[in-house]
């Protein structure tokens, strides 16, 4: 049964758009996570992205999340991105974001005194972990081409541990699948409200509370001038998280 569920997760978001002129990229993501209390978490993330012959961008994102209820977190972050224009001056974009993380199957949040260990980290109530990350962002272009303005993002995700009962257990190997839709609010998009879709399928290994590793296959699709969705890039994304 568990292998069947894993297979469903991996094919849940299988992309169908055309792959014309799609580029291959390599991403690396390093995160420092501080679980301050049973409800409050801080993180800072650094993510370089590169094609085979040139770098694409470097992003840094300070992040804070607060668990209001077992079903809901409020989140805030500021993304700083330096992107490569290939032959022109590099561009800098600052993107503040606010939003909410919904946990469909709820979580266990302890109410004991906070200790500097994994005991204060929220944990899913069930083996399957379903969620939705809703964010509103404003792109502010400091240099380079004009930014896109206000945008809404919704990422729906599912994670399932293959060898443990919870994704937060030490030694857990999990499969993860998510799909994120990008909806610009400032200007209409030909062919539909969604301008960009990102699909990720991958596997993760949680060694213990302090160390987590993930690897994703990522497909980015964008709406072209004719209003059809086409694949812009494919990437392998390697993520490492160090928690305290």
The domain of 18 spans 2-243
| Residue 17 pLDDT class (50, 70, 90 cuts) | low
183 in Cβ contact with 151 (< 8 Å): yes
| Residue 23 pLDDT class (50, 70, 90 cuts) | confident
Q: Is the pLDDT of residue 177 over 90?
A: yes
Q: Mean pLDDT throughout 178-192?
A: 86
Pairing of strands 129-143, 211-223: unpaired
Number of structural domains found in the chain: 1
Report the C-alpha gap between 200 and 58 in whole angstroms: 19
Out of 119-128, 142-151, 206-215, which region has the weakest mean confidence (pLDDT)? 142-151
Choice between 113 and 155, residue whose per-residue pLDDT is larger: 155
For residue 149, what pLDDT is reported? 83
Q: Mean pLDDT throughout 1-13?
A: 43
Report the C-alpha gap between 27 and 87 in whole angstroms: 22
For residue 128, what pLDDT is reported? 97
Out of 1-10, 46-55, 133-142, 174-183, which region has the weakest mean confidence (pLDDT)? 1-10
Query: Which region holds residue 5: left if phi is over 0, alpha if psi is between -120 and 50, else beta?
Result: alpha
Entry pTM: 0.85
Out of 50-59, 89-98, 109-118, 163-172, which region has the weakest mean confidence (pLDDT)? 109-118
For residue 114, what pLDDT is reported? 46
CATH number of the domain that 180 lies in?
A: 2.40.160
Helix (H, G, I), strand (E, B) or coil at 212: strand
Q: Mean pLDDT throughout 197-226?
A: 95
Out of 83-87, 97-101, 161-165, which region has the weakest mean confidence (pLDDT)? 83-87
pLDDT tens by residue, 123-140: 999 999 999 999 999 989
Q: Is the pLDDT of residue 203 over 90?
A: yes
């Amino acid at each position: 049964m568990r292998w069947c569920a894993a297979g469903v997760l991996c094919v849940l978001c299988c992309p169908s758009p055309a792959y014309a002129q799609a580029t291959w990229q390599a991403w690396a993501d390093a995160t420092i996570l501080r679980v301050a209390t049973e409800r409050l978490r801080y993180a800072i993330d650094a993510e370089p992205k590169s094609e085979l012959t040139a770098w694409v961008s470097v992003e840094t994102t300070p992040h804070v999340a607060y668990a209001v209820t077992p079903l809901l977190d409020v989140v805030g972050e500021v993304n700083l991105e330096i992107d490569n224009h290939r032959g022109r001056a590099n561009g800098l974009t600052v993107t503040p974001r606010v939003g909410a993380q919904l946990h469909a199957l709820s979580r266990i949040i302890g109410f004991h005194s906070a200790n500097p260990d994994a005991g204060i980290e929220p944990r899913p109530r069930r083996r399957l972990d379903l969620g939705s990350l809703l964010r509103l962002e404003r792109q502010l272009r400091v240099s380079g081409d004009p930014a896109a303005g206000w945008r809404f993002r919704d990422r729906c995700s599912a994670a399932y541990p293959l060898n443990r009962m919870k994704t937060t257990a030490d030694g857990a190997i999990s499969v993860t699948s998510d799909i994120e839709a990008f909806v610009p609010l400032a200007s209409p998009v030909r062919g539909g409200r969604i301008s960009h879709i990102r699909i990720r399928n991958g596997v993760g290994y949680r060694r213990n509370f302090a160390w987590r590793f993930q690897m994703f296959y990522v497909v980015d699709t964008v709406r072209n001038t004719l209003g059809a969705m086409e694949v812009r890039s494919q990437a392998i994304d390697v993520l490492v998280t160090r928690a305290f």
